[in-house]
C-alpha cells in the first residue's frame, strides 16, 4: 500500500490529524499536487498512449508555481511504501 493510498484511506480523518498537528500541513498540499499529476497523466495517456511523466510533471509545476524537481520528489514520496 502506497503512502497516497494510506492518505486516501484516512479520508476525513486526514484533515483532523492535520488540524491536531499530528500530520504536517504540507502533506495536504502534496496530496493536491499528486492528484493533479494523476489527473493530467490520465488525460495525457488517453490522448497520446504513453505516460509522458516528464511533460505532465512540468504542467503540474507550472500550475502550482513549484519546480519540476519538487513534483518528482512528491511523486516518489506518494508512490513510496
pLDDT tens across 24-47, in order?
999 999 999 999 999 999 999 999
Inform me whether the pLDDT recorded for 4 exceeds 80.
yes
Range of the domain at 30: 3-79
pLDDT tens across 59-81, in order?
999 999 999 999 999 999 999 97
**Residue 56's CB: how many other CB atoms inside 10 A?**
22
HEC readout, the chain: CCHHHHHHHHCHHHHHHHHCCCCCCHHHHHHHHHHHHHHHHHHHHHHHCCCCHHHHHHHHHHHHCCCHHHHHHHHHHHHCC
Please tell me the predicted confidence (pLDDT) of residue 67: 98
Location of C-alpha cell 511533460: 55
The total number of structural domains in the chain stands at: 1
Please tell me the predicted confidence (pLDDT) of residue 71: 98
pTM of the model as a whole: 0.92
Amino acid at each position: 500500500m502506497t503512502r497516497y493510498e494510506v492518505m486516501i484511506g484516512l479520508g476525513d480523518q486526514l484533515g483532523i490529524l492535520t488540524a491536531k498537528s499530528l500530520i504536517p500541513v504540507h502533506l495536504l498540499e502534496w496530496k493536491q499536487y499528486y492528484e493533479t499529476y494523476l489527473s493530467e497523466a490520465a488525460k495525457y495517456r488517453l490522448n497520446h498512449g504513453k505516460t509522458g511523466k516528464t511533460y505532465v510533471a512540468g504542467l503540474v509545476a507550472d500550475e502550482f508555481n513549484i519546480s519540476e524537481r519538487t513534483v518528482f520528489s512528491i511523486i516518489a514520496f506518494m508512490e513510496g511504501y
